[in-house]
Amino acid sequence: MKHVIVLFALLTGASLAAAPENWWNPAWSQRQAITIDAGPSGAAIQENVNEVTALVRLFDGNFNFMAATADGKDLRFTTADGKTVLPHTIERYDNLINEAFVWVKLPEVPAGESTTIHLYYGSAETAGATAPTDTFDDATVMFHHFGKMGTTFEDSTRNANNAENPGVTSDGGIIGPGLRVLDVPLVIPASETLDFTAGQELTVTTWVRPAALQDNAVVFSKSDGTNTLRLLLNQGVPLVQVVTPTGTVSSASGEAAPAATWSHLGLVASGNTITLYLNGEAYGTLNAAIPAISGQFVLGGATPPSDALANLNGELDAVAVSTTARPAAWMKFAAVNQGASEASSRALVLGTNESSASAAGGHNEALEHIMLFGDIAQDMMFDGWIAVGVCVLMIIFGWTVAVQKFAYLNSIEKGTAEFVKQWKNLSTDLTAIDHDDEASVKSLGGNADPEKIRLVEKSPLFQIYSIGSEEIRNRLSRDKARTKGLSGRSIQAIRAALDTGLVRAQQKLTSGLIFLTVSIAGGPYVGLLGTVVGVMITFAIISKSGEVDVNSIAPGIASALLATVAGLIVAIPALFIYSYLNGRIRNVTAEMKVFIDEFVARMAEFYPPEGEISPYAPTPIPDVPTQNPNFSFSDHVPASGATT
């Protein structure tokens, strides 16, 4: 249902206006420009950076989560010209708290300049995205961002350097969830892609947040029992150590990284030099080459354990290993882009939303709301769908009746307007109508042409007029001289017949309105029933699972409330439609009552009771031959308006 709703919204938006010329794909309705600033006010890098994976943070202030799918699978990133789709992977996407972390592979970040890419979203087509593993270049052999909770941590590259043991997730990572290191380090098993060769190029980066200052706390280590490479925090001072059979060499001490604060650490090995980086700046060097190591890669501790070393008491995030020496500009861009400083907020900025439904840009509020309802609907339970189904049936029956009534009332009002025009002339002398001649009655005494006759036949006034003419004909069939006229009892009988026609016309006018009244009265109750049952089931599930948080409660409550919304959508339009139709029906009924009174009055005037001579009777009164079957009284009646 969600995809149907979203597709409908997209087609509706596309019909309003064509997308801008440089739009990547018309199936995506929204886009935002992303500016990467490498100038002094942003990342401030002095060299071009090629094939870097940048972090894009999405939150309420820079992204409209209502316009995207609930899981973010419709996100696409392209170059500024819209010709190349950039690979990306989603670390975390939460549309309940409106927070997302997405990694995007940039082909190049020019030194000191600003570049632009585009973020597209708002599409029912979620298939066809690039592989998440393509987000990192071939030199990146491992990347752990710890974004998935409650599972063994997996490598985001294609090398599958997954963790051997489950780790503890921390909600307070600098980039979404992080790794909380306590007494048990996180172990990544040995693999060919993680094996170090002697003298190779290497880059290892990570974010670290020590809970307290420790002696020789291990950030990471790799050892095979003979050779070891490790990164330490000794009372907050970053140190890189290389251990070989000839001894241990360590970088010089410098300024300490503060406790309870996130710091970006990295080492870059090239030839016989290992450079240590702190927050994107060169911190120190070690004159040593990377030894050949084929053992485990351990985060937050060392294997085998050593009394001289301590497991890290703190958190880690975004651990990356590359088999190349990243340049200084690359290290600085990574530290600034992934960090939470003011420079980080300026280094990558999302622009305002643009909509394919408007070349001038701006939000498509209707699309956003419709897509939000689609997201909520996918969490609806079976009982909620039953309530919504009943509401849909009410809408179908109620609106079908409404459309039919609108068409019927429009047709009879046109016929009534034409009949009233003809009646003004006819009412001056009812005797002008030959009640024995059906064609004369139908043509209103010969004054209406066939086209007008077809129009007035739809009017209930004409139908009442026809009933009255039929009743007059029945009573005058034996009194062609009109000397007896219509008695008081005859007039009462004719009025009763006219009132019967009025009641039948009212029944036809009001038939089917019961479906609207049922929708008005029953729609909210059906929706409320679906909501109450949905809320009950949601709380029952929470009680069994024991999880009491926004993520477990909000989807069930929102989907349950959708049933009440459906009930109100049924009732509110039905209420207005019923009131409008009922007002028009009352007007038509009032016109019929007025016409009946006028018709009876004219009938009593032109056909007085026995003993009174009609002012419109022929004079002298002809001696009507009873044996002449071809006699026609109309041949002796003077023209309309004649007097004795």
Q: Which amino acid is at 369?
A: H
| The pairing of beta strand 99-109 with beta strand 30-37 | unpaired
Query: Which tokens hold the place of 560?
Result: 């349950």
CA distance 27 to 19: 10
Q: What is the pTM of this model?
A: 0.58
| CA gap 281, 275 in Å, rounded | 10
Residues 6+ apart with CB under 8 A from 71: 93, 95, 126
Three-state SS at 40:
coil
pLDDT-based confidence at 167, cuts 50/70/90?
confident
83 contacts 107 by C-beta, under 8 angstroms: no
Mention every residue, 6+ apart, whose C-beta is less than 8 A from residue 449.
none
What percent of the chain is predicted at pLDDT more than 90?
43
- Give the separation between CA 390 and CA 48, rounded to whole angstroms: 62
Q: Could you give the CA distance from residue 317 to residue 263 in angstroms, rounded to a whole number?
A: 10
Give the residues across from 319 on adjacent strands.
144
Q: Does position 427 have pLDDT exceeding 80, yes or no? A: no
Please give the pLDDT value at position 275: 97
Please give the domain boundaries of the chain with CATH numbers for all domains: 1-136+337-355+364-378 (no CATH), 140-323 (2.60.120.200)
What single-letter amino acid sits at 387? A
**Cα–Cα distance for residue pair 363/346, rounded to 1 Å:** 24
The 3-class SS string of 346-406 reads HHEEEEEEEECCCCCCCCCHHHHHHHHHHHHHCCCCHHHHHHHHHHHHHHHHHHHHHHHHH
Gap between the Cα atoms of 500 and 497, Å rounded:
5
- What are the tens digits of pLDDT across the range 27-86? 899 999 999 999 998 999 999 999 999 999 999 889 999 889 989 999 999 999 888 999
Cis, peptide link before residue 620, omega less than 30° from 0: yes
User: CA geometry: angle at 192 spanning 92 and 250, to 5°?
Assistant: 85
Instruction: Dump the DSSP string for 183-212.
Output: SS-EEE---GGG-B-TT--EEEEEEEEESS
Residues above pLDDT 70, as percent of the chain: 81
Q: How many Cα atoms occupy the beta-carbon half-sphere of 318 within 13 Å?
A: 29
